[in-house]
Amino acid sequence: MPTEKNKKQKLSVGWIGAGRMGYEMAGRLAKGGADVLIWNRTRAKAEPLSKYGAKVADDVSELAARDIVFCMVATWKDVKEVITNLLKNPRARPKMVIECSSISLEGSAELRAMLGKHKIQYLAAPVSGNAKVIKAGRLSFVCSGPEKAFSEALPFLKMIAPSASYVGDGELARIVKICHNVFLGVVTQSLAEITLLAQKAGVPRHAFLEFMNQSVMGSTFSRYKTPAFVNLDFKVTFTPHLLRKDMDLGLDAARTFEVPMPLASATRDLIQAMIGRGWSEQDFATLLLQQAQASGVTLKSENVEVGDGLS
């Protein structure tokens, strides 16, 4: 009977994408002792992973000879491009592809069909959490596809994240992730609104958020966004463009399933307005800056040491 450890050692892993998320996720596999060959369009971003034992490929097609290939890029268009190039290798095919980017149900179904033609198993496995959450060992996967593929992938998923939920067949994981990120956008906008309201009425942001974080409304998310809101540190964890993509995915799905989503629609346009103002290269938490501007408030860092609940 093979143990989990043996299984991990037997199977080789290919990893596509060393962006903010992919770098940390692949890093956990390499640090955990998995045999990882990584490819990133900008090779230099993948190279530091060699210090954990990962090998770096020059071309994505080299990953075709790996047993399992993970993919973590940006949009469906990008996923399609890299997987098409992966499948161009005439000599090899991976046994399984695990796709983790946040993409549409339709894109995911097209990918399943592309891979199915080559008898490659496919698991849709998007995630919740940013790069710091990955480092803190608190990322979560939501997975769908054949249950057998999920069981085979599980030892690897567990090296990256403590939690991997299986939600059923086909592309179901995609709608779960889309719903999750619509909530992320709406909650962030709402948190910006109430934080500004409290501040304009005279409550310092750190005091307001300390109370909120300890109340029943506080969450892992509100805690880890608190340093950004208090000290205006908007170093990017997730870009406004990627969040707008996810709001659009949510609104497209809402049209398909005929579900009214007034809060999501308003939030999507507020994110669009923020991008239009040129606030697109910092973290999406700059929704707070936009709310301040709309409220006639000039924000200053409070320079107060506040925890993020992660480190």
Among 30, 160, 209, 242, binds ligand NAP (CB under 6 A): 242
Q: Which of 8, 11, 15, 20 binds ligand NAP (CB under 6 A)?
A: 20
The values of phi and psi at residue 67, to 5°, are -70, -50
Candidate segments 34-42, 148-156, 203-211, 259-267, binder of ligand NAP by CB under 6 A: 34-42
For the record, the structure tokens of 145 come out as 């596809």
User: In the chain, what's the furthest Cα-to-Cα distance?
Assistant: 67
CA dist., res. 223 & res. 242, Å (int): 22
Nearer to ligand NAP, 26 or 270 (CB): 26
Nearer to ligand NAP, 72 or 274 (CB): 72
Asked if residue 238 binds ligand NAP (CB under 6 A), the reply is: yes
Shortest Å, Cβ 284 to ligand NAP: 9
Contact status, residue 283 vs residue 235, Cβ threshold 8 Å: yes
Q: Which residue has the tokens 């143990």?
A: 3
List binders of ligand NAP among 43-72 (CB under 6 A): 45, 72
Task: With contacts defined by CB under 6 A, name the span among 156-164, 216-224, 235-243, 275-283 that binds ligand NAP.
Answer: 235-243
How far apart CA 129 and CA 277 sit, in angstroms, is 27
* Using rule CB under 6 A, residue 102 touches ligand NAP: yes
153 is a site residue for ligand NAP (CB under 6 A): no
Q: How far is CA 302 from CA 203, 206, 299, 308, in A?
A: 12, 8, 9, 15
Nearer to ligand NAP, 159 or 196 (CB): 159
CA distance 210 to 200: 17
3-state secondary structure 172-200: HHHHHHHHHHHHHHHHHHHHHHHHHHHHH
The contact set with ligand NAP (CB under 6 A) reads 17-22, 40-42, 45, 72-74, 78, 81-82, 101-102, 127, 130, 237-238, 242
